[in-house]
Amino acid sequence: MNNLASLMIESGVAVITIDNPPVNALGAALRRALFDRLEEAFAAADARAIVLICAGRTFIAGADISELGKPAALPTFFDLFDLIEDGPKPVIAAIHGTALGGGFEFALICHYRVAAQSARVGLPEVNLGVLPGAGGTQRVPRLAGVEAALDIMTSGRHVHAPEALHLGLVDAVVPDQTLRAAAVEFAQQVIRDGALRPRVRDKKGALENIQPALFAEFRKANAQRFRGLKAPDAIITLVESTVSLPFDEGMKREQASFEALVGGRQSAALRYNFFAERETARVPDITADIRPIDIRTVGIIGAGTMGSGIAMAFLNAGLPVTLVETSAAALDRGMSAIRRTYDASAKKGRMTPDQVEQRMRLVNPTIDLDAVGDRDLVIEAVFENIDVKKDVFTRLDGVVRPEAILASNTSFLDLDAIAEATRHPERVIGLHFFSPAHVMRLLEVVRGTQTAKPIVATAMALARKIAKVPVLSRTCPGFIANRLLAPRGTQAEALVLEGTPVALIDRVLFDYGFAMGHFQMMDLVGLDVVGRDADQRTVMGDLVAAGRLGQKQNGGYYDYDGARQATPSVLAEKIIADVARAGGVPHEPTLDEAALIGRLLYPVVNEGAKILEEGIALRASDIDVAAVLGYNWPVYTGGPMFWADSIGLDQVVAGLRQLEARHGNAFRPAELLVRLAARGERFQP
């Protein structure tokens, strides 16, 4: 018998157990097995109802994502669904873990749903650039109403079992450990009540009295969140159709929309990204026999912007943190920043006041460096100055246990030089968080020349524990993300000196999909913060000298009104013209938008190619993950490397060559890029 789905009959109920690790994805082989078991269960004389339950950590987590966009193998989702919905016996889904996407749609085709207390359901297809394509858009509104359906499907969020019960998405919630027995009992009750087989498609109550304006309002309220994305709009259109169209017509439209989205570029990019994020943890020479060290306690040196954020990342995961500063005043500032952030979260209902206090109790603030002596891991987040960092590491070396891991959050400095300041350079590693560190999901793990393999393994495993995606980098100035994106800033600054309007550069970046343009970002961060290390005359330096620090003081590249609305600044334009004149930069603005994108982003792709050929990154997809999670590169382009693949590497090389002819060597295409383009290959293997 096929072990993907097995059948047992107990007390008049057929129990079909699905077992397709790791997440019971509903791929072709499982569909076949399920189809066969269901037919057997329908034929079994001693069973009058069927329970569908999963082995392992979760209920069906969806369609097999790697099969999306390929011709559907038989039996299709719909063959299977028709068999259940119109079958002769009631079918009960018993849900634990997460019932997601096609997995939840599968549960919705069943006649009843019983969920474990800790279970979650959801339709996260939007994150893959598609919509629920197995009836979700038509069935969820019929159960939970259109407002809940819009929220659930356009956010892709997981709905906890008690809320799902409240919304009518499940029929019963039971204690976790009793799920199987409770589902069988539920089935027996269904049999006693006449073995009815209610179909979600026939339910209408939740679709009555809908305000037609609701859909336009929802679109408007979420316009910014959905900007650039195709799937949310298609979802809203389909949910709207449930109000007026018969079920079967709605299903036809859902199929057509799904097909269109799954064949498009956005979905290809987002599916790529799903697997890319999971691939980063695979490091070829860190084999399974190299065991990560269990990190239970953490010390953090420096409670500034990064130190306090990093502390919260660990507190959120329940790890105790010793936070060290040089003075009580600095420590107070750091602790107040943590408390303020948590209080704000509690105010928004994201945490309870109890949780705030629990987390605050996990911090041990101190000005005594010796206090980190017993910690498993100590992370340094002091000023970005090599001498200060070396001093901290030398002192730490004398304080911590010899087996403790020492990490630096440096953005640009030489990790090997920092490691040399200790007696155990093999236990030193870079853990480069992004600001705000408790929010941004990227963690660059920087492997120094001497870093030992178990330390690398530990850092990669730890990242997951604190809900970060680790990307492994070798040492080089800026590591992957900062080095990758630096050319975009350099080109933006060069373009303004040539006379290209600040607002035009920002607009093309915004239209490409970035949340904001380069100069808006600089103004937001603060020009004094970004430009403080410049060693030559720059526009930013002159703006700061003129008292323009960005949004926080007198405007920067832009002027700002009371509502922080940016308008072009005559003063900034004059400063730009002065700096250009002093530097002898010819006035030759670039006004063509496609040319601007090439100028700003091809150098990023080129830098990515260099990062790859130098072995700084393990793979092109790691670079994309770093760009998306570290710099909010629009995820629906896949990242710079995937984007370059999708427009063609020959086009990127041709663009760079043109720029090289006009502006010089900085644009010379990397050898790897030229080689791949010449062979008609891509970065993605």
Question: Which positions are annotated as active-site residues?
Answer: 105, 125
Residue 530 or residue 597: which is nearer to ligand NAI going by CB?
530
- Residue 100 interacting with ligand 3HC (CB under 6 A): yes
Least Å distance, CB 441 to ligand 3HC, is 13
Of 306, 497, 576, 628, the one binding ligand NAI (CB under 6 A) is 306
Of 3, 11, 66, 326, the one binding ligand NAI (CB under 6 A) is 326
Dist. CA 483–CA 470, nearest whole Å: 17
Contact 401, 295 (CB under 8 A): no
CB contact burial 125-154 (16+ within 10 A = b; e otherwise) = bbbbbbbbbbbbbbbbbbbbbbebbbbbbb
Dist. CA 87–CA 39, nearest whole Å: 9
Beta bridge partners of 559: 567
- Residue 382 interacting with ligand NAI (CB under 6 A): yes
Select the binding partner of residue 384 from ligand NAI, ligand 3HC, none (C-beta < 5 to 8 A, by kind): ligand NAI
Half-sphere exposure of 607 (CA within 13 A, CB side): 27
Tell me the residue length of the chain. 685
- Residue 625 interacting with ligand 3HC (CB under 6 A): no
Least Å distance, CB 334 to ligand NAI, is 6
- Residue 399 interacting with ligand NAI (CB under 6 A): no
Contact 334, 325 (CB under 8 A): yes
- Residue 250 interacting with ligand 3HC (CB under 6 A): no
- Residue 307 interacting with ligand NAI (CB under 6 A): yes
Peptide bond preceding 22 in cis form (omega within 30 of 0): yes
**Two tokens at 252?**
């036809």
- Residue 410 interacting with ligand NAI (CB under 6 A): yes
Contact 377, 465 (CB under 8 A): no
CA 9, distance to chain mean position in Å, is 43
Peptide bond preceding 436 in cis form (omega within 30 of 0): yes
**Two tokens at 211?**
């305000």
Which residues, in sequence order, are CB contacts of 252 under 8 Å at separation 6+? none
Element (H, E) at 1: none
Dist. CA 95–CA 100, nearest whole Å: 11
- Residue 61 interacting with ligand 3HC (CB under 6 A): yes
- Residue 304 interacting with ligand NAI (CB under 6 A): yes
- Residue 150 interacting with ligand 3HC (CB under 6 A): no
Residue 1 or residue 529: which is nearer to ligand NAI going by CB?
529
Query: How many residues belong to the site for ligand 3HC (CB under 6 A)?
Result: 23
Identify the DSSP state of 654.
H
- Residue 302 interacting with ligand 3HC (CB under 6 A): no
Of 28, 260, 283, 330, the one binding ligand NAI (CB under 6 A) is 330
Select the binding partner of residue 175 from ligand 3HC, ligand NAI, none (C-beta < 5 to 8 A, by kind): none
Residue 102 or residue 608: which is nearer to ligand 3HC going by CB?
102
Dist. CA 346–CA 354, nearest whole Å: 9
Of 14, 41, 51, 65, the one binding ligand 3HC (CB under 6 A) is 65
**Two tokens at 652?**
């990127």
Taking residue 516's Cβ as centre, other Cβ atoms within 10 Å add up to 15
For residues 101 to 130, the per-residue mask of contacts with ligand 3HC, x marking binding by CB under 6 A and - elsewhere, is xx--x------------------xx--x--
Which residue has 């405007």 as its token pair? 555
Residue 100 or residue 572: which is nearer to ligand 3HC going by CB?
100
- Residue 383 interacting with ligand NAI (CB under 6 A): yes
Q: Which stretch binds ligand NAI (CB under 6 A): 58-66, 193-201, 263-271, 295-303?
A: 295-303
Of 324, 495, 539, 656, the one binding ligand NAI (CB under 6 A) is 324
Of 278, 291, 340, 361, the one binding ligand 3HC (CB under 6 A) is 278
Least Å distance, CB 467 to ligand NAI, is 18
Q: Which amino acid is present at 64?
A: D
Select the binding partner of residue 62 from ligand NAI, ligand 3HC, none (C-beta < 5 to 8 A, by kind): ligand 3HC
Contact 419, 389 (CB under 8 A): no
For residues 424 to 443, the per-residue mask of contacts with ligand NAI, x marking binding by CB under 6 A and - elsewhere, is ---------xxx--------
Beta strands in 540-648 (DSSP E): 558-560, 566-568
Dist. CA 428–CA 446, nearest whole Å: 9
- Residue 478 interacting with ligand 3HC (CB under 6 A): no
Summarize as ranges the residues that interact with ligand NAI (CB under 6 A): 301-307, 324-326, 330, 381-384, 388, 392, 409-411, 433-435
Summarize as ranges the residues that interact with ligand 3HC (CB under 6 A): 22-23, 25, 58, 61-66, 98, 100-102, 105, 124-125, 128, 132-134, 275, 278
